A and B are shown apart, each in its own frame.
Chain A
Amino acid sequence: MLSFISFSSQHTDSTYHRSTRHHPDVEDLMDVDDDDFSGSEPKLTCPGETITSSQAFMRGHGTYVDKEDVIASVVGTVERVNKLVTVRAIRTRYNPEVGDLVVGRITEVQPRRWKVDANSRQDAILMLSSVNLPGGVQRRKLESDELQMRNFFEEGDLLVAEVQAFFSDGAMSLHTRSLKYGKLRNGQLVTVPPILVRRLKSHFISLPCGVDLILGLNGYIWVSKQAKDNDQGEEGFDAEAVYSNQNDDIDNATRAAISRVGNIIRVFADHFVPLTDTLLLEAYEWVIEQEGDAKYLLLGDTGDALVAAMSIRG
């Protein structure tokens, strides 16, 4: 990278230029004013780099103001909406928004609430009042419910939920008040950087190979056996089934399909490829054509070939 940089006293001038190059923001200001700012070439910044003047622009996330300058505080791409300048970090923890679908893991059971790890900067909170309880969808929470909270969710359980609101300190509150949400079983969890999961029309994906996918916006992805349709009617909220800890019988073909899909997602995460349902489907077909075992996907060559094949298709 750098071989024997030497500098003696006469080099001091050149180092001085290096540091001053970023100080007056004349050139940078011109960049931002440019009309095709959000064009093909994304502008990269590093912490401490001056982006623009704070008099003409407002600072957004990933920036701070020092004297007259808006300065980047994270590594990433500069984005601008009208007069608001933000820097989006390329790899970071999940930043929740209300309505997001997340997959999380229970870390703690507290009075009337569960703490959930959702890859965010703080653990999310799931209130006892925001889960569906057995015996009627809407009913008062009793003391007996409070005492048997571990029958619903225990430490280590995985669940899918929606972000409901935020607390004053920025922690998110979740809810599972829908038949789509609740405890997860019959599958495996795959973790990817959150930026790779984009907002889609539906985050519940059914692949024709007998695999269900839940793409959590926090980068947690649940790959599981396909649920039988209509096993829970409109009225019949089956608490036994929803809070069960027991896996169904999964045949070998489905197990192979689950691990294949899981490994495809891992390969895409390694190559930093955003995930969509069509992409996963085509990748699965490609893998079936290759007739390899699921584990060979994780060898570098096969993974590279998969991504290359998908790129050609695009």
Chain B
Amino acid sequence: MSSRVELINAGLLRSDGRRPYELRTISINFGAQGTADGSVTYSHGLTQVRVSVQGPHEAKPGTRRETFHDRATLNVEVQLAPFGVGERRRRGRGDKRLLELAATIKSTFEPVVQTHLYPRSTIDIFIHVLQLDGGLLPACINASTLALATAGIPLFDFVCAISGGVHGTQPLLDLTTVEENDVPSVVVGVMPRTGRATLVQMETRLHMDRFEDVFRVACDAGKVLWSEMRDALRERTGDLVDKLEAGPGMVAVKETEET
């Protein structure tokens, strides 16, 4: 390896002290964001994204031609905060890289969201990347899954995505920017119920013999992420249900129903 940074040291630890299959800390925050129907702030290590989902709602007048009479359309917009990236550069709406990212996220979710239930509607997914340290696409996808679920939009399944790579012959999981720059990487998005992959993306060349190892370990990691995401969602839903059932309002509702 020509890298100046030692990606894996003699003790099999990576540059940030993780073992090869170790994931970074995840934190999920369901705080409300304005008028969004579903919103989440998702941090994965030093990568932080904020997703708000609006809809399903009527298509805006200009985009009405793109709607379908038998299903909803997904509209994904990604914005990268200039201060959140290594290279400080303002990226406009037409930035090729961001458009491609949005298109990837859109095609990942199209088979997962039950769009046929909402004919002629639009579902907007707005993604703001606040900090970036590798794993941009997986973070966006995981956060979008959670935001769609909190917006009450029917999904066939979760999508849990994670990046993987190979250093020498050693598969790695959850790459940071430093690692992404040096090792061949692959992004895998799995639907944990069936174990199917909805997304496999490679932007670098990876040896065929190594691919299977990375793919398998990434699929397993997806299931670990799934249990985390599910627990967070359950906790939040349980909290809301408790408030709804046990709060002062419900007593009053019952009183009025009795009289």
**Which A residues lie at the B interface, using CB under 8 A?**
1-8, 12, 15, 18-19, 22, 42, 44, 46-49, 62, 64, 71, 73-77, 89-93, 107-108, 115, 117, 121-123, 169-171, 191, 195-196, 198, 200-201, 268, 271-279, 307, 310-311, 313-314
Select the stretch in B97-105, B124-132, B150-158, B177-185 that faces chain A: B150-158
B61 partner residues in chain A, CB cutoff 8 A? 108
What is the bound-complex CA distance between A3 and B24, given in angstroms?
7
What is the bound-complex CA distance between A88 and B27, given in angstroms?
26
Cβ A91 vs Cβ B247 within 8 A? no
Selected from B28, B120, B228, the residue in CB contact (under 8 A) with A122 is B120
Cβ B247 vs Cβ A93 within 8 A? no
Cβ A90 vs Cβ B152 within 8 A? yes
B56 at the A interface (CB under 8 A): yes
What is the bound-complex CA distance between A188 and B93, given in angstroms?
35
- How many whole Å from A188's CB to the nearest CB in chain B? 16
Cβ B240 vs Cβ A272 within 8 A? yes
- How many whole Å from B119's CB to the nearest CB in chain A? 5
**Which B residues lie at the A interface, using CB under 8 A?**
18-19, 21-28, 35, 37-38, 55-58, 61, 69, 72, 114, 118-121, 149-158, 191-193, 195, 220-221, 223-224, 227-228, 230, 232-234, 237-238, 240-241, 243-245, 247-253, 255-256
What is the bound-complex CA distance between A74 and B247, given in angstroms?
24
- Find the B residue at minimum CB distance from A313: B248
Number of A-B contacts (CB under 8 A): 183
Instruction: Given A15-B223, A268-B249, A274-B250, answer yes or no on A121-B55 (Cβ-Cβ < 8 Å).
Output: yes
Cβ B237 vs Cβ A44 within 8 A? yes
Cβ A18 vs Cβ B120 within 8 A? no
What is the bound-complex CA distance between A74 and B118, given in angstroms?
14
Cβ A46 vs Cβ B158 within 8 A? yes
User: When A and B form their complex, which 6 residue pairs have the shortest distance between CB atoms, in order from nearest?
Assistant: A92-B152, A314-B251, A89-B152, A274-B249, A310-B248, A48-B157
Cβ B252 vs Cβ A276 within 8 A? yes
A121 partner residues in chain B, CB cutoff 8 A? 55-57, 72, 118, 121
Cβ B25 vs Cβ A274 within 8 A? no
Selected from A7, A49, A170, A275, the residue in CB contact (under 8 A) with B220 is A7
Selected from A15, A76, A117, A198, the residue in CB contact (under 8 A) with B224 is A15
Selected from A4, A8, A73, the residue in CB contact (under 8 A) with B25 is A4
- How many whole Å from B40's CB to the nearest CB in chain A? 12
- Find the A residue at minimum CB distance from B174: A5
A191 partner residues in chain B, CB cutoff 8 A? 35
Cβ A279 vs Cβ B224 within 8 A? no
Cβ A279 vs Cβ B58 within 8 A? no
What is the bound-complex CA distance between A4 and B233, given in angstroms?
20
- How many whole Å from B62's CB to the nearest CB in chain A? 13
B158 partner residues in chain A, CB cutoff 8 A? 46-48
Cβ B228 vs Cβ A1 within 8 A? yes
Cβ B247 vs Cβ A307 within 8 A? yes
Cβ A274 vs Cβ B247 within 8 A? yes
- Find the B residue at minimum CB distance from A268: B249
- How many whole Å from A292's CB to the nearest CB in chain B? 19
A3 partner residues in chain B, CB cutoff 8 A? 25
A71 partner residues in chain B, CB cutoff 8 A? 193
What is the bound-complex CA distance between A38 and B253, given in angstroms?
18
Cβ A74 vs Cβ B220 within 8 A? no
A64 partner residues in chain B, CB cutoff 8 A? 114, 154, 156
B250 partner residues in chain A, CB cutoff 8 A? 274, 314
Instruction: Given A90-B244, A274-B247, answer yes or no on A46-B234 (Cβ-Cβ < 8 Å).
Output: yes
- Find the B residue at minimum CB distance from A71: B193
A274 partner residues in chain B, CB cutoff 8 A? 244, 247, 249-250, 252-253
- How many whole Å from B143's CB to the nearest CB in chain A? 14
A-B contact pairs, 12 of them (CB 8 A): A1-B232, A48-B158, A75-B234, A91-B240, A201-B256, A272-B244, A272-B247, A274-B247, A274-B249, A311-B247, A313-B248, A314-B248
